[in-house]
Amino acid sequence: MANFGHVYLIGAGPGDPGLLTLRGKDILEKADVVVYDRLVSPAILGFCNPKAKMVDVGKMPTHHKVKQSEINKLLVQFAKEYPQGVIARLKGGDPFVFGRGGEEALELVAAGVEFDVVPGITSAISVPAYAGIPVSHRGIATSFHIITGHEKEVDSRKSEVGSDSVILSEVRSTKSKDPSQNLSLDFENLAKCPGTLIFLMGIANMDFIAKRLIECGKDPKTPLAFIEKGTTPYQRTVMATLETAGETIVREKVTAPAITIMGGVVELGQALAWKKNLPLSGKRLVVTRAAKQASGITARLSALGAEVIETPMIETRVVEGSFNWADLANFDILAFTSTNGVESFFKQLFAAGYDVRVLAGKKIASVGKITEKKLLEYGIRCDYVPEDHTGEGLGKLLAALNPIPQSTEGATSHLTPRILLLQGNLADDTLLKLLPQATRWVVYETLPVAELPEWKREAVAGADAVVFASTSAVENFVKLMSQGTAGVPPYLKATNGSAPIPQTSFCIGRMTESAARKHGFNTVTSDETTMDSLVKKIVEFYTKNS
């Protein structure tokens, strides 16, 4: 087998990031390239290896961004460009359910590229489930049928499977602008079918489809539901019957992506609709806190129904290769003041070829419980943790250690312990002031994020509001969103070319608020400088304004 990368055709599920499979997530985390579709949610893109090349081949309903034949070729091209690489082809729902995964696989076979298929949860079944509609139900429906409501004819005479290239050309059969003209469904048989009918991609043609089914004898009173953006915070169910399908779509402005489900099971949806409308349902919020701090607020806002786009404005980086590890022998106490410090220290220690034995006999100090817990993950118990969990507390505790714990490294004993502080570049001088004899190693740096990937900029641009917890977050956010190929995003774009359109921001602290105002955001500021208070304010805001 040639030295090609391995392609994974992965189903991303219908929208809710929790419905991606474990295997799918695992592959995304190590992918070198991710080729993804329009329907894949930003939260799932957020699982991808941050170093992966992200390629958007998303198709808009009206125009194809990248033609299917080009996508097929692209996968082969990446497999060649990344020998031994992991190429993830991420598709909405299941790759083999109207996902054209088969066409992509055929092209890979023809080119001699190895691939795996990682099935996904298809929208055909899960979207009705999220609307409380079981696709089969004893006594009501003993079968269900998944049908495409938008079909392009594939000219199979032109396909050459097994040769160098597989050409599956798309041929529109008529010149008619009416897409329904391209449907070659067997309406006679479908109308007779007693099972549940589930149409994907069918909204544009549904008036035509419903009429044809009625003409062919299906009961015009057959209950029917349109489920829009199922499993996402924007999910909406609209009920109708076969005879009112077309007018309902127009009246209720049903838009893609949506599925149409027909049959007796639809009526169960009234009793079984389990997905509650939550206070933040349908809102997309951008959280600009650092990843570690963000997870708490993200979980809370998600639990309240929001779609949260985590977009940290700062990132931490290990400061590499800058220490003389032999010097460790000269210290009696190692003091850690953050989990980042612990992780960065051990990362570098291990990278330099050492292991925890170099810490034998040393005393270990931690600023608080979280750092202490992190150390335990490396098999290290702390000797000193101040009761108040502050830098000052730690400084006082260590300063009071006199005479010192014995150094086991050398035979010498010292009057004061020799302390090594392992900290980040932004750590203040509290400890150094209290412990003038201590040495500090900066083991990690905190830097402003310099660039956002395009997919994230797009996700952020479509958001309802941004959460800011510091002025630097506001400044960097505006800077990041104003750079790049797209220029100023629609998000901050002026209607008249001058001031940006004010958009809602939720702020912690008055300084943050005024920075956001300066950039033209509307601001809602929490009463107290806590996340609790901010979350309360966000809920209040949307409850009042809905």
Query: Shortest distance, CB of residue 544 to ligand SAH, whole angstroms?
Result: 29
Contacting ligand SAH (CB under 6 A), which of 5, 15, 42, 368?
Answer: 15
Contacting ligand SAH (CB under 6 A), which of 205, 231, 302, 504?
Answer: 231
Query: Shortest distance, CB of residue 176 to ligand SAH, whole angstroms?
Result: 21
Residue pair 354/325 in contact (Cβ under 8 Å)? The answer is: yes
Using alpha carbons, list the distances in angstroms from residue 14 to 45, 203, 281, 514: 14, 17, 17, 40
What are the tokens at 176? 């008619």
The DSSP bridge partners found for residue 507 are: 468, 525
227 binds ligand SAH (CB under 6 A): yes
Task: Please report the beta strands in 229-294, taking only residues with DSSP state E, as ranges in sequence order.
Answer: 236-241, 258-262, 284-287
Between 308 and 375, CB nearer to ligand SAH: 308
Residue in 54, 201, 206, 262 annotated catalytic: 201
Task: Enumerate residues 299-338 that contact ligand SAH by CB under 6 A.
Answer: none
5 binds ligand SAH (CB under 6 A): no
If we measure between CA atoms, which residue out of 166, 240, 162 comes closest to residue 203? 240
Between 66 and 442, CB nearer to ligand SAH: 66
What are the tokens at 38? 């329009």
* 410 contact partners, CB below 8 Å, separation of at least 6: 329
Stretch that binds ligand SAH, among 137-145, 153-161, 225-233, 481-489 (CB under 6 A): 225-233
Query: Shortest distance, CB of residue 11 to ligand SAH, whole angstroms?
Result: 7
Backbone dihedral region of 465: left (phi > 0), alpha (psi from -120 to 50 degrees) or beta? beta
Q: How many residues bind ligand SAH (CB under 6 A)?
A: 25
Residue pair 102/68 in contact (Cβ under 8 Å)? The answer is: no
259 binds ligand SAH (CB under 6 A): yes
Residue in 53, 59, 275, 536 annotated catalytic: 59
467 binds ligand SAH (CB under 6 A): no
If we measure between CA atoms, which residue out of 378, 370, 360, 362 comes closest to residue 337? 370
Residue pair 526/508 in contact (Cβ under 8 Å)? The answer is: yes
Backbone angles phi, psi at 331, to 5 degrees: -120, 150
If we measure between CA atoms, which residue out of 204, 221, 324 comes closest to residue 256? 204
Stretch that binds ligand SAH, among 49-57, 121-129, 479-487, 503-511 (CB under 6 A): 121-129
Report how far residue 66's alpha carbon sits from residue 59's, in angstroms, rounded to the nearest whole number: 7
Task: Please report the beta strands in 201-282, taking only residues with DSSP state E, as ranges in sequence order.
Answer: 223-228, 236-241, 258-262
What would you report as the CA-atom Rg of the chain, rounded to the nearest whole angstrom?
A: 29
Between 223 and 230, CB nearer to ligand SAH: 230
Active site residue 60: no
Between 98 and 331, CB nearer to ligand SAH: 98
Task: Enumerate residues 94-113 that contact ligand SAH by CB under 6 A.
Answer: 94, 97-99
Burial letters for 134-144: b for 16+ Cβ neighbours within 10 Å, e otherwise? Answer: bbebeebbeeb
DSSP code of 170? Answer: B
Query: Shortest distance, CB of residue 427 to ligand SAH, whole angstroms?
Result: 45
Contacting ligand SAH (CB under 6 A), which of 119, 230, 312, 395?
Answer: 230
Q: Which DSSP string do the residues of 423-484 spell out, in sequence order?
A: EETT--SHHHHH-TT-EEEEEEEEEE-----HHHHHHHHT-SEEEESSHHHHHHHHHHHH-S
27 binds ligand SAH (CB under 6 A): no
Active site residue 383: no
Active site residue 201: yes
Report how far residue 425's alpha carbon sits from residue 440's, in angstroms, rounded to the nearest whole number: 10
201 binds ligand SAH (CB under 6 A): yes
Stretch that binds ligand SAH, among 93-101, 152-160, 451-459, 501-509 (CB under 6 A): 93-101
Contacting ligand SAH (CB under 6 A), which of 39, 75, 225, 394?
Answer: 39
14 binds ligand SAH (CB under 6 A): yes
Residue pair 266/295 in contact (Cβ under 8 Å)? The answer is: no
What are the tokens at 472? 């630097």
Query: Shortest distance, CB of residue 68 to ligand SAH, whole angstroms?
Result: 12
Chain-centroid distance of CA 105 in Å reads 26
Report how far residue 343's alpha carbon sits from residue 318's, in angstroms, rounded to the nearest whole number: 9
Backbone angles phi, psi at 9, to 5 degrees: -90, 105
127 binds ligand SAH (CB under 6 A): yes
* Residue with the CB atom nearest ligand SAH in the bound state: 93
Between 238 and 524, CB nearer to ligand SAH: 238
119 binds ligand SAH (CB under 6 A): no
Backbone dihedral region of 84: left (phi > 0), alpha (psi from -120 to 50 degrees) or beta? left
Residue pair 333/420 in contact (Cβ under 8 Å)? The answer is: yes
What are the tokens at 140? 């009501």
Stretch that binds ligand SAH, among 92-100, 163-171, 174-182, 242-250 (CB under 6 A): 92-100
Between 266 and 534, CB nearer to ligand SAH: 266
93 binds ligand SAH (CB under 6 A): yes
Query: Shortest distance, CB of residue 341 to ligand SAH, whole angstroms?
Result: 42
Stretch that binds ligand SAH, among 117-125, 161-169, 407-415, 454-462 (CB under 6 A): 117-125
Query: Shortest distance, CB of residue 317 to ligand SAH, whole angstroms?
Result: 37
Residue in 37, 218, 362, 363 annotated catalytic: 37
Between 213 and 349, CB nearer to ligand SAH: 213
Query: Shortest distance, CB of residue 118 to ligand SAH, whole angstroms?
Result: 13
Report how far residue 16's alpha carbon sits from residue 194's, in angstroms, rounded to the nearest whole number: 31
17 binds ligand SAH (CB under 6 A): no
Stretch that binds ligand SAH, among 120-128, 370-378, 422-430, 506-514 (CB under 6 A): 120-128
Query: Shortest distance, CB of residue 270 to ligand SAH, whole angstroms?
Result: 19
Positions annotated as catalytic residues are 37, 59, 201
Binding positions for ligand SAH, rule: CB under 6 A:
14-15, 39, 91-94, 97-99, 122-124, 127, 200-201, 227, 229-232, 256-259
